Amino acid sequence: MENLTPVITIKNLIKVYDATLVLNDINLEFYAGQITGYIGPNGAGKSTTLKILIGMLEDFKGEVSVLGFDVRKDAMEIKKRIGYVPENAMLYEVLTPMEYLLFVGRLYQMEDYIIEKRATELLSILGLKEVLDKRMNTFSKGMKQKVLLIAGMIHNPEIIFLDEPLSGLDANAVILVKEILAKLKEAGKTIIYSSHIMEVVEKLSDRIVIINKGQVVADGTFTALKENASSLSLEGIFSTLTGNSEEDQSLSNEFVSVLASR
Amino acid sequence: MTKCVLFLIDQLQWLFRLLKIDFPSLRTIVEVKMMMENRRPHSLHQKNAKREQNNSFIKSLGFQVLFSFIFGAMLLFFEKTAYNLYLYNFAFIMFMIAFNMISDFIEVLFDTTDNIILIPRPVESRVIWMARLIHISVFIITITLANSLGSIVFTCIKLGFLAGLVYFVSVILLCLITIFITGILYLLLTKIVSGERLKDIIGYVQVLFSLLLMVGYQVGIRFVSNILKSQEIQISWWHYLTPPAWFAGLMEVVANHHFETPYLVFMSLILTVPFVSLFLMNHYLAPVFAKSLSEYGTPEKTETTAQTVQNSNILIYLSKKCTKGSLENAAFTFVWKITSRDRKFKIRAYPVFGLMIYYIVKLFSNDSSIGLNKWMVLYYASFCIYGVSQQIFYSDDWKAAWIFKNSPIEQPGDILYGGLKVIIIKWAIPTYMLIGILMYYKFGFEIIDDVIFAFVNTLLCLGVTVSKVEFAMPFSQSITEQNKAAKNFSRIILMLLVVPIMGGIHFFISKVPYGVVVLTFIFLIIALLLLKEYRKITWEKIQG
C-alpha cells in the first residue's frame, strides 16, 4: 500500500461551522482501487468530509487534494473526474429518469447518444426499464435512489463518493449494488462511502475509517481493527470507539423500565 | 388563534358527542393542526409572508382587512334596493372563499401525509375527517371574515348594528355552504379521475380562478357602477340556485322589510341548506372519505398512475437549433420541460396573462380608449414575460439543485443563458406573434413595426437584468424565499420604471418618421449584446 501514490490526500483538515468544530484535524490518504467505508455516528462529520472532497465546501482549513488537484483551486478538474451520490438527495421529480440523466450527463459535457445508451442500459439493469419514461414524482425512495446512483456514475468517474448509498433500497437491490461496487473496484475505481449498516461495511470494505466528533478514531482493514479493539464484530468496535457499550446497557434497561412506569 | 379555536370546540363538545365523535382525540388533532397551520405560508398573499414565521397568517389577514374596506365601501352608495349590490358583494366573497379553498385548503382536506401518523393509532377515521373539516372551516372562516370586515362595518353604518350582525352570520353560513359544495365537487372528481391527473385538474382550476380574479378586479368596477344606476330588482330562476342571491335577499329583507315569496324562499334556503349539507356530509361523505383514506397514498396505487412522457420532436429540434454547447442545451431542455409540467410554476406564472386577454378583448370592442389599449396590450405582454422569466428560479424541488454545484460547470452563465432562451422562444416570440396577428386584423400592416419594437423592448428588458448583483440557477430557490421583501421591491421598481419608460420612448418615437424602424435596430443590437453578457456570469455571482 505504501508504494502507491495516494489519489486523495487530506492534511490537517479543520472545518468550523457556526463556531462548532465539525472536523478536527483529519489526516487521511486514500489509494486507487480501494473501497473505503467511512463510518461514524450522526453528526460525526462524514458528510462534511465528503462534501469537502468533492469541492462543494471551500471554506475549511488544511490541505486537501484529489487526483493531484487542490480542491480549492481546481475544483472543476476534480468534479469532472469524480462521481457523487449524496444522502437523501432530491431530484427534479417532474422529469423522467431518462430526462434527468440526460440533463446530468450534459452537465458533464457528454454526448447525447452516449448518455442515452448508458442510461437506458443502466436503468434496465437496475429494474427501472418500465418506468424509463414516467415522471419521478410517484417513485418510491428506492427507485429514486437507483436513479441517483446512476446519475452519480454515468460519466464513468475515477473516484466515486457515496453517502448512504443503500438507503431505501430493498434487500435484492442492496445485494446488486454491493456487487456493482465490488466490480467497480476490480475495474480500478476508488470508492469511498458512508453507511450505517455495519454488516455491509464489514464485508464490503478494504479499509474502514471510523470518525467520531470530527476526529479519526480508527483506520485500517477490518482484521486490523479487530486485533486492536478486541471485539469480533464491527458493530462492537464501532460502539466501543464512538459510544459507550456499558452505558448503552444501562440506557436500554432504563428505557424498558420507563415504559412500564406510572 | 389556537386557544380561541380550542375554546370554541370545547363549547361545541355536545354537538360532537351527538355525532358520536371521540372528543379528546379530536381536540388533540385539531390543536396540532392549528399549530402547524400557523407555520405554513399561504399562496394567496405570499408577498407578505416571511419564511416560516409564526405570524405570517396574521400579516396576510391584515392585508385582506385593508382590502375589504376598499371593497366594502361600495355598500355605502346604494340608495333604495340593497339586493343588487349585496348580490355582487356576496358573489365576490363566495368567489374568494372558493379561491382560498382551491388554492390552499382542498389539499388539506384530502391530504394523505398524516395518514402514516394517524392511521396506525387508535383513532377513528370519522374523527380524522371531522378534524380536517374543522381545520379547514376555521381558516376559511377567518380569512373570509377578514375579507368581509369592511363590508360588515359599512353595513352597520348604513343599515344599523342588527343588519351588521345578520351580515356577519351570513358570511359564516356562506363559508360553510361553499366548503360543502367544493368538498362534494372534489369528491366527485376523485371518483372520476385519480392521482396525478386529479392534481393537474386542480392546478388548472387554480390557474383559471387566479385568472378570473385578475380580470374580475377590472371588470368588477364597471359592474358596480352599473349596479348603482339600476334600482330594479330582477330575480331570475337561477338566483334560487346561487347562495349569494339567498343572502342578498336576506339583506334586502333586513334593509327594506320585504316579505314577498322569493325572499321567504331565500330565507328558508339559508336556514336549511347548511344544516342539510352538514348532515349529508357526515352521513355520505365521511364513509367515502374513510375509504379514500385507506386507498390513497399507498405506493402500489400511485406507481400505476405515473405519467408517461412522450418525447417531443419539436423540443429536440429547437434545442439543437437554438443552443450552443451541451451546457446550454441541457439548461434549455431542462427549463422547457419543467415549466411545461410543474403545476406550481403554472399557477405562479400564468394568471398575470389574464389581464392581457382582457385588454385584447377591449381592443376589439371599439372602445373610445382604443389608442391606450394598444399600448396596454403591447407592454402588458412585456410585463407578463418578464414575470415568467423571474419564476423559473423557483421550485418545490429546489433542493435538487445540488447537482449544479456538483457538476463540472465552468461557466454557470451558459445555464442561465439557456434558460433565457426558453423564455424568449417559449413565451416572448409566441406572445408577440399572437399579438402581431391580432393587431394586423385590427389595424392592418402598418402596426407590425410597433409590435416588433415592443418585442425588441421586451428583449432589452430581459437583457438589462444582466446587471443584477446576484443570480440563481433555474429551479434552485425555494418558493418561500421568494418572499424576501427586497427582491420583490427591486422587481416592482424595475417593472414600474423600465416598462413605462420603454412604452414612453415608443410612443414618442412613433411620431418621428422611420423613428421606430431605426430604434428597433439599435435596441435589438443592444439587447442581443446584453443577453450575450449572461454567458459571462461566473460562480461568484450565483447565490447559494
More confident residue, B296 or A111: A111
Tell me the mean pLDDT in the region A173-184: 89
Range from A74-78, B31-35, B389-393, B415-419 that averages highest in pLDDT: B415-419
CA distance B296 to chain A (A): 12
* B498-529 residue pLDDT tens: 777 888 888 888 888 888 888 899 999 999 99
pLDDT in the model for residue A201: 87
With a pLDDT cut of 70, the percent of chain A lying above it is: 97
Query: In this complex, which of A79, A94, A138 lies closest to B406 when CB atoms are compared?
Result: A79
In whole angstroms, give the CA distance from residue B252 to residue B493: 45
Name the helix (H) or strand (E) containing A30: strand A20-30
Residue A71 and residue A78 in contact, taking contact as beta carbons nearer than 8 Å: yes
φ, ψ dihedrals at A163, nearest 5°: -105, 110
pLDDT at position B495 over 70: no
Residues 6+ apart with CB under 8 A from B161: none
Q: Kindly list the distances between the CA atom of residue A63 and the CA atoms of A25, A198, B203, B312, in Å, as whole numbers in the listed order.
A: 11, 30, 51, 48
pLDDT at position B298 over 50: no
Residues 6+ apart with CB under 8 A from A217: A210, A211, A241, A242
Tell me the mean pLDDT in the region B400-425: 90
In whole angstroms, give the CA distance from residue B225 to residue B311: 51
Query: In this complex, which of A79, A86, A133 lies closest to B308 when CB atoms are compared?
Result: A133
- Taking only residues 45 to 74 of chain A, the set having a beta carbon closer than 8 angstroms to any beta carbon of chain B reads 54, 56
CA distance A41 to chain B (A): 24
Range from A247-251, B408-412, B418-422 that averages highest in pLDDT: B418-422
Tell me the mean pLDDT in the region B288-301: 55
* B5-19 residue pLDDT tens: 888 888 888 878 877
* A226-252 residue pLDDT tens: 887 777 788 888 887 877 666 777 888
- CB–CB of B407 and A95 under 8 A? no
pLDDT at position B370 over 70: no
**Quick check: helix, strand or coil at residue A27?**
strand
Q: Which residues of B touch A109 (CB under 8 A)?
A: 325-327, 408
Tell me the mean pLDDT in the region A4-27: 87
- CB–CB of A91 and B306 under 8 A? no
pLDDT at position B367 over 50: yes
Place of cell 380561541: B4
Query: In this complex, which of A106, A133, A138 lies closest to B196 when CB atoms are compared?
Result: A138
User: Domains of chain A, with CATH numbers?
Assistant: 8-89+156-259 (3.40.50.300)
In whole angstroms, give the CA distance from residue A92 to residue A136: 8
pLDDT in the model for residue B146: 87
Query: In this complex, which of A77, A103, A135 lies closest to B307 when CB atoms are compared?
Result: A135
Q: What is the pTM of this model?
A: 0.73
In whole angstroms, give the CA distance from residue B219 to residue B116: 46
According to DSSP, residue A41 is labeled S
pLDDT in the model for residue B137: 86
Residue B403 touches chain A, beta carbons under 8 Å: yes
Place of cell 367515502: B288
- CB–CB of A94 and B338 under 8 A? yes
Long-range contact list for A2-7, CB < 8 A, 24+ apart? A4/A31, A4/A32, A6/A30, A6/A31, A7/A31, A7/A32, A7/A66, A7/A67, A7/A158, A7/A159, A7/A190
- CB–CB of B402 and A137 under 8 A? no
CA distance B243 to chain A (A): 39
Question: A109 in the Ramachandran plot: left (φ > 0), alpha (ψ -120 to 50) or beta?
Answer: left
Residue B540 touches chain A, beta carbons under 8 Å: no
Q: Which residues of B touch A54 (CB under 8 A)?
A: 406
CA quadruple A239, A61, A2, A164: dihedral sign = positive
Count CB atoms within 10 A of the CB of residue B116. Answer: 9
Q: Which residues of A touch B308 (CB under 8 A)?
A: 133-134
CA quadruple B157, B160, B161, B163: dihedral sign = negative
In whole angstroms, give the CA distance from residue B201 to residue B346: 12
- CB–CB of A134 and B307 under 8 A? yes
Residue A126 touches chain B, beta carbons under 8 Å: no
pLDDT in the model for residue B335: 94
- What is the ipTM score, two decimals? 0.78
Q: Which residues of A touch B325 (CB under 8 A)?
A: 109
Indicate the burial class of B31 (C-beta count within 10 angstroms; 0-12, 13-18, 19 or more). middle
pLDDT in the model for residue A1: 46
Least confident residue range of B73-87, B148-162, B263-277, B485-499: B485-499
CA distance B439 to chain A (A): 37
